[in-house]
Chains A and B, each alone.
Chain A
Amino acid sequence: MKFITALKTALGVAPGCEKVNEFLAEFVEGALDEKMHAQFEEHMNMCKCCDHYLDQYRQTIDMTKEVDEVAIPTELAEHTLAFLRKSNAFSQDQGSATS
């Protein structure tokens, strides 16, 4: 870590790794205020640990997004509608509301 950043962190005027890590979900979501976001970016640029961790964190999210599709059972909605009719929630006659 660059000396100035390390010094700022030690003095508590810039976030350290633990603080950066604690708010990483906010950081990747863009939910931090501008000042904090800039401080975090400055830290990432100087700190190999946080930079590597952020990369792992992002790859984890990306891999999670590509998880397998769920196969939807055939006639899923039809079975639910039949269940609603059977439990007397809906009127018994096949089809729809009679109003």
Chain B
Amino acid sequence: MQPTDSKNPGPLGTPPDSGDMVTTTAEGAKGSISLDALMAGDEKAFEQLVVQESPRLFRVIVRIVGDDDEAASILQETFLQAYQRINTFRRESKLTTWLYAIGINLARASLRKSRRLSSLEDQEVERMQPDFNRGMFVETPAVWDPSRVTELSDRRQLVRRGIEQLPEDYRTVVVLRDIEEYSTDEVAKMLGISSGAVRVRLHRARGALRKLLDPHMRRMPKA
């Protein structure tokens, strides 16, 4: 079999003689869908994509918009746009990366429209980063004592509230990188920014979360 030039997949409907597969990420339903079938508009293949990617993509969207019904409706719109625009997919990234980029954009647009504001502003995120004087820490960061919050449910609640307070673009990188554990490069492609920009944003988001957790996690002075 000839190796296929991935940048020239051939006209739609006449898939090249290749075995390009979309390895989907859904847990429990890991499988491969023929990329050529998808790009040829094969409904059966697209159905498979919907079934396999819906749970994870829903998780990402709901964590960005914070509302189940809205997330389900964004998910539907994402797949509709993906189906209609499948011929614009250039095989330079994974199909799932391209799909998630559509979903994330729709989620952001929905947040802007609803004007649901996160409680922190960008400038506050900046102020929550540590202070330095002549390149050195101004204050010694406290020692954290994990045994202060022993209940998993309490820790989860602290983190959830923290994440909800982050401005959307900070929240999104935390969701994609730290919760869903996509690689920095994949996150960069999903968001259409550089890997460096992902790390900068992620670092500030973690710094802000750290600040929010700090009062709950500091080791108590001995009485």
Please report A residues at the B interface, Cβ cutoff 8 Å. 9, 16-19, 21-22, 24-26, 29, 31, 47-50, 52-53, 55-57, 59-61, 63-68, 70, 72-73, 76-77, 79-81, 83-84, 87, 89-91, 96-97, 99
B99 CB → nearest A CB, Å:
12
Known: A21-B132, A79-B72. Is A72-B55 also a contact (CB below 8 A)?
A: yes
Contact with A along B139-179 (1 / 0, CB 8 A): 01111101000001001101110010000000000100011
A21, A67, A87: which contacts B160 (Cβ < 8 A)?
A: A67
C-alpha spacing A87/B130, complex, angstroms = 51
Give the residues in chain B near A22, CB-CB below 8 Å: 203
Please report B residues at the A interface, Cβ cutoff 8 Å. 42-47, 50-51, 54-55, 58-59, 62-63, 68, 72, 75-76, 79-80, 83-84, 130, 132, 134-137, 140-144, 146, 152, 155-156, 158-160, 163, 174, 178-179, 181, 184, 199-200, 202-203, 206-207, 209-210, 213-214, 217
Q: Are A64 and B209 in contact (CB under 8 A)?
A: yes
B180 CB → nearest A CB, Å:
10
Q: Are A96 and B43 in contact (CB under 8 A)?
A: yes
Could you show 27 A-B contacts with beta carbons less than 8 Å apart?
Answer: A9-B135, A16-B134, A25-B203, A29-B184, A49-B137, A49-B140, A52-B143, A56-B214, A57-B210, A59-B146, A60-B206, A60-B210, A64-B174, A65-B178, A65-B179, A67-B159, A68-B156, A70-B63, A72-B58, A76-B54, A76-B58, A76-B75, A77-B50, A79-B72, A89-B80, A96-B44, A97-B42
Besides A52-B141, A64-B174, A67-B156, 19 new A-B residue pairs in contact (Cβ under 8 A), listed by A number: A16-B136, A21-B130, A22-B203, A24-B203, A25-B206, A49-B141, A52-B144, A55-B143, A56-B214, A57-B210, A59-B144, A61-B206, A63-B159, A63-B213, A64-B163, A64-B209, A67-B159, A72-B58, A89-B80
C-alpha spacing A91/B136, complex, angstroms = 64
B46 CB → nearest A CB, Å:
8
B62, B80, B132, B140: which contacts A84 (Cβ < 8 A)?
A: B80
A80 CB → nearest B CB, Å:
5
Q: How many A-B residue pairs have CB under 8 A?
A: 146
Known: A25-B199, A57-B206. Is A80-B50 also a contact (CB below 8 A)?
A: yes
Known: A73-B68, A77-B50. Is A97-B199 also a contact (CB below 8 A)?
A: no
A46 CB → nearest B CB, Å:
12
